[in-house]
Amino acid sequence: MRLKDKVALITGAGSGIGYRTARLFAKEGAAVVVVDINDEGGYACVADVETAGGTATFVKADVSRASDCEYMIAAAEATYDKLDILFNNAGISHAADDDAINTSEAVWDLTMAVNVKGVFLGCKYGIPALQRAGGGSIINTASFVALLGAATPQLAYTASKGAVLALSRELAVIHAQENIRVNALCPGPLRTELLMKYLDTEEKKRRRLVHIPMGRFGEAEEIAKAALYLASDESSFVTGSTFLVDGGITAAYVTPE
């Protein structure tokens, strides 16, 4: 087991990437703290893990609130005595996110509060826990759009993910000699609810797929496997990386039809 005797906290674990990662981490031996703002999804994830023979507990938290982030870290240590892996994965993509002219200040602020402040607060309270454990791995979910301009305007989301990249790099340097690794995981377009709610017709899907050299959407399970690598000791010399799992989209200039 690649995470035997490890304790992992995953935000946004009630659906999508976080849900699949929680199941995979538990399968690989970790005790998992499932964090989400949604009770139903969080408890469903814990039930799934436990049915498969794993260990998990649910903590309800809004990652944009400092008190909630402080609480989720304290709950992890109180329940499992330590924290080894912190996966700051929770994020939103607002339906009204657009260009600079048409994106409201409220949408901008909400996106930044969850996607950037949520990662900052997770690290603010999580890093001391990793220090107490003697080190560990932090994985922050960014996106391929942090490196490319989005074809469909989503300015707040794109800017927020760029901030996650910068934050991750700096923390990696600051804590490199404390046995704490920090990496930004950058998924490409995925077949998850977050994206599919926008690509709600076959025509929209085809227009996006033409930009992906592999010619398909990624699956949440594939991102979970990348997170497993970054969480495990197999990536012991990997820190400060922009870890792309994107079907080749950021490598492409002209893509095949």
Fold annotation for 7-245: Rossmann fold (3.40.50)
Query: Of 157, 198, 229, 253, which residue is the catalytic one?
Result: 157
pLDDT of 256 over the 60 cut: no
Asked if the model's pLDDT at residue 196 lies above 60, the reply is no
Helix (H) or strand (E) run with residue 182 in it = strand 180-187
Which pTM value belongs to this model?
0.94
Please tell me the predicted confidence (pLDDT) of residue 189.
86
* Residue 194: pLDDT band with limits 50, 70, 90: low
Measure the CA–CA gap between 2 and 229, rounded to whole angstroms.
9
- What angle, 0 to 180 degrees and rounded to 10, lies between the N-to-C axes of helices 118-132 and 66-80? 30
Sign of the CA dihedral with 211 first, then 213, 217, and 218 last: negative
Q: Which SS3 state, helix, strand or coil, does residue 184 take?
A: strand
CB within 8 A of 204, min separation 6: which ones? 198
Residue 27 near residue 221, CB atoms below 8 Å? no
Q: What angle do CA 83, 141, 136 make, to 5 degrees?
A: 25
For the question of residue 157 being annotated catalytic, the response is: yes
Asked if residue 257 has pLDDT above 80, the reply is no
- Where are the domains positioned within the chain? 7-245
Q: Decide if 220 contacts 16 (C-beta within 8 A).
A: yes
- Predicted pLDDT of residue 208: 67
pLDDT surpassing 60 at residue 65: yes
Task: Report the pLDDT averaged over residues 181-197.
Answer: 82
pLDDT at position 151 is 73
